[in-house]
């Protein structure tokens, strides 16, 4: 049996999910999640990370300090995880650690790059396990988007021979995986999910998120505002493509609201944002996977009941379920993908899917900080 730990902290900036995953050996596909821990970021760490999303004086020092704080949060999550899984550090083959994205510019004219803050040396020092991190840069160096990386894992875990299926991760950003009936795989970021819903709920209700989408459900969709938001060129760009908080942030929404003319009620804006996610996902699936009728949803947004209802209404004839029904709870999927990527690195197998990211070929992803 080989055990890997996956650590993911995504664009929602809500904190870190840690899972311990066991496989019978390094080649077998069957896997089991032994334990899952979620740790929220301390408010000061979250504030520091949010501030780093824009260029600011002294940002190199702030970034280095934030990377240390993220590494301590990751190490604390591992400290809580291993006893739950009844594991000693020496029983874990490697940790796959994502880090916190503060820039994602795969197509910058001077050369693409992406920055996930993490101090791999500190994490290895604190947890005493091999740490595999910086998992996106190699794909970008090979001409790819460096994202999304999870379709390779989704294909491995959720693929069904002869059956077209879609997997949707509703994190800060929404990304789809297209599992074609012939075994080929596609995938891309469709656009914003929780990043705007959380920001608008925080601004108007002072809460971290709109629990189950109840506030959005109380509002009415402003069709003209929705059309305006959907006019963002990103939605029509053909894949491969990836995005993040570099594009979709509160000022992006506010600038559209400013040119909208009249101010809709705050709850109507929330309803419109939920439909923005549902429409952009449904449109992408109808265009790129027209023969599928199954959508499996994961990520924290899978707990947003209103959003799932809106998705199901836009995808008439589709079965829309969470990944629970496939044996993996939605909040564990992305972290499990990073455990899987650590396993691929350890077995010296490519972790990217060039058909998804647009890279020139399969590449070994990650950089190792030995225990």
Tell which positions 156-175 bind ligand ATP, by CB under 6 A. 169, 171-172
Look at residue 48 and give its three-state secondary structure: helix
Q: Give the span between the Cα atoms of 18 and 339, in whole angstroms.
A: 9
| Residue 244 interacts with which of ligand ATP, Mg ion, none, CB < 5 to 8 Å by class | none
Q: Whose Cβ is closer to Mg ion: residue 100's or residue 119's?
A: 100
Binding mask 213-252 for ligand ATP (x = CB under 6 A): x---------------------------------------
User: What is the phi/psi pair of residue 99, to 5°?
Assistant: 85, 175
Q: Based on CB atoms, which residue is closest to ligand ATP, 209 or 248?
A: 209
Residue 212 sits in the site that holds ligand ATP (CB under 6 A): yes
Work out how close the CB of 52 gets to ligand ATP at its nearest, in angstroms, rounded to a whole number.
16
Q: Contact with ligand ATP (CB under 6 A): which of 12, 22, 137, 270?
A: 12
To ligand ATP, the closest distance from the beta carbon of 183 in angstroms equals 25
Residue 294 β-bridge partners = 319
- CA–CA separation, 286 vs 290, rounded Å? 5
Q: What character string, x for contact with ligand ATP (CB under 6 A) and - otherwise, covers 253-272?
A: --------------------
315: which 2 tokens?
A: 């995808």
**Radius of gyration of the CA atoms of the chain, in A:** 20
Residues 289-348 that bind ligand ATP (CB under 6 A): 299-301, 303-304, 334
Selection from ligand ATP, Mg ion, none that 11 binds (CB < 5 to 8 A by kind) is: ligand ATP
What does 277-310 look like in DSSP terms, one character per residue?
A: HHHHHHHHHHHH-TT--EEEEESGGGG-HHHHHH
Report the half-sphere exposure of 217 (CA within 13 A, side-chain side). Answer: 12
β-bridge mates for residue 165, sequence order: 179
Q: Under the criterion CB under 5 A, does residue 14 sit at the interface with Mg ion?
A: yes
Q: Which does residue 172 touch among ligand ATP, Mg ion, none (CB within 5 to 8 A, set by kind)?
A: ligand ATP
Name the one range near Mg ion by CB under 5 A: 12-20, 147-155, 261-269, 325-333: 12-20
- In DSSP terms, 15 is beta-bridged to 40
| Closest to 362 measured CA to CA, from 371, 351, 348, 370 | 351
Q: Which does 246 bind (CB under 5 to 8 A by kind): Mg ion, ligand ATP, none?
A: none
**3-state SS, residue 364:** coil
CB of 10 to Mg ion, least distance (A): 4
Whole-number Å distance between alpha carbons of 364 and 347: 10
To the nearest whole angstrom, how small is the minimum distance from the Cβ of residue 270 to ligand ATP?
A: 11
Enumerate the β-bridge partners of residue 334: none
**Which residue, 212 or 218, has its beta carbon nearer to ligand ATP?**
212
6 contributes a contact to Mg ion by CB under 5 A = no
Closest contact distance (angstroms) between CB of 282 and ligand ATP is: 19
Stretch touching ligand ATP by CB under 6 A, among 151-159, 204-212, 246-254, 354-362: 204-212
d(CA 99, CA 67): 8
DSSP-based three-state secondary structure for 152: helix
The least CB distance from residue 61 to ligand ATP, in Å, is 25
Least separation in angstroms between residue 283's CB and ligand ATP is: 20
Interaction between residue 10 and ligand ATP (CB under 6 A): yes
- Rounded (10°) angle between helices 59-84 and 120-127: 30
Question: Please, what is the end-to-end C-alpha distance for the chain in angstroms?
Answer: 20
Contact 45, 365 (CB under 8 A): no
Q: Is 198 in the site for ligand ATP (CB under 6 A)?
A: yes
Residue 77, H or E segment: helix 59-84
CA–CA distance, 74 with 76 (Å, rounded to integer): 5
Binding ligand ATP (rule: CB under 6 A), the pick from 3, 5, 7, 8 is: 8
> Where do contacts with Mg ion occur on this chain (CB under 5 A)?
10, 12, 14
> Where do contacts with ligand ATP occur on this chain (CB under 6 A)?
8, 10-12, 14, 169, 171-172, 194, 197-198, 209-213, 299-301, 303-304, 334
């Amino acid at each position: 049996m080989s055990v890997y730990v996956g650590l993911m902290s995504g664009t929602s900036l809500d904190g870190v999910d840690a899972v311990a995953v066991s496989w019978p050996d390094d080649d077998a596909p069957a896997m089991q999640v032994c334990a899952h821990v979620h740790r929220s970021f301390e408010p000061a760490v979250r504030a520091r990370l949010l501030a780093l999303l824009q260029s600011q004086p002294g940002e190199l020092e702030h970034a280095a300090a934030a990377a240390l704080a993220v590494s301590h949060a990751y190490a604390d999550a591992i400290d809580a995880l291993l006893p739950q899984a009844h594991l000693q550090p020496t029983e874990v083959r490697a940790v796959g650690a994502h880090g916190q994205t503060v820039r994602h510019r795969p197509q910058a004219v001077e050369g693409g790059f992406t920055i996930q803050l993490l101090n791999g040396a500190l994490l290895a020092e604190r947890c005493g396990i091999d740490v595999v991190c910086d998992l996106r840069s190699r794909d970008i160096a090979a001409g790819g988007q460096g994202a999304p990386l999870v379709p390779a894992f989704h294909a491995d875990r959720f693929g069904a021979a002869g059956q077209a299926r879609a997997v949707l991760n509703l994190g800060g950003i929404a990304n789809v995986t297209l599992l074609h009936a012939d075994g080929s795989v596609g995938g891309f970021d469709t656009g914003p999910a929780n990043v705007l819903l959380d920001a608008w709920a925080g601004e108007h209700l002072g809460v971290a998120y709109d629990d189950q989408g109840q506030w959005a459900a109380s509002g009415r969709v402003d069709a003209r505002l929705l059309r305006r938001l959907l006019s963002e060129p990103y939605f029509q760009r053909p894949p491969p493509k990836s995005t993040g908080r570099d594009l979709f942030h509160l000022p992006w929404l506010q600038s559209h609201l400013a040119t909208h003319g009249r101010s809709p009620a705050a709850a109507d804006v929330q309803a419109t944002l939920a439909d923005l996610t549902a429409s952009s996902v449904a449109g992408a699936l109808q265009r790129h996977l027209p023969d599928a009728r199954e959508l499996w949803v994961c990520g924290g947004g899978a707990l947003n009941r209103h959003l799932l209802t809106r998705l199901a209404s836009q995808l008439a004839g589709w079965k829309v379920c969470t990944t629970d029904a496939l044996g993996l709870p939605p909040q564990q999927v992305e972290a499990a993908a990073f455990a899987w990527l650590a396993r691929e690195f350890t077995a010296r197998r490519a972790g990217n899917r060039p058909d998804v990211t647009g890279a020139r070929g399969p590449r070994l992803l990650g950089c190792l900080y030995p225990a």
